Amino acid sequence: MNKKSIKLQRTESILKEVLSEAIATLNDGMLKSLVVTDVDCKRGKYDADVLLDQTLLNDEDKEYIKKHLKKVKPYLENYVLQNEGWFKCPKLHFKFDDKLQKKEKMDMLFSKISKELKGRDD
């Protein structure tokens, strides 16, 4: 696992907080309810993957959100610049976070294996 510098981690944390605020100011109810779970800066600070919580979202909702986030991306980048006083904002890439679903799937698999092993021991 690669270690990130403290400065880069701080930038990611600031972006997560400021983007959450910026999304909350949008007029679209669907977008306003989005939760930023993580921000991952790449290529220094030139690109940032913004991970969004996808709990309770179906495929139609995800497509709607992607389409509308693409439209408001300049507003969000400008919001970051104004609030933080940065010279340049990272290029934002919005993605849905699937870590929780992967974790739940792993937990189910371990539970299933545990039950099978207990059944064999009896």
Q: Three-state SS for 91?
A: strand
The CATH number for 86's domain is: 3.30.300.20
89 DSSP assignment: P
SS3 string, 18-77, reads HHHHHHHCCCCHHHHCCCEEEEEEECCCCEEEEEEECCCCCHHHHHHHHHHHHHHHHHHH
Q: Is residue 27 part of a domain?
A: yes
The pLDDT score that the predictor gives to residue 1 is: 42
Please compute the mean of the pLDDT values over residues 9-17 and round it to a whole number: 91
Q: Is residue 1 part of a domain?
A: no
| Between 18 and 109, the higher pLDDT residue | 18
Neighbours of 5 (CB within 10 A): 9
pTM as predicted = 0.76
pLDDT band for position 20 (cuts 50, 70, 90): very high
Structural domain boundaries, residue 111 = 6-121
Average pLDDT value over all residues in the chain:
87
Nearest to 50 by CA among 2, 14, 78: 14
Domain count, the chain: 1
Q: Is residue 83 part of a domain?
A: yes
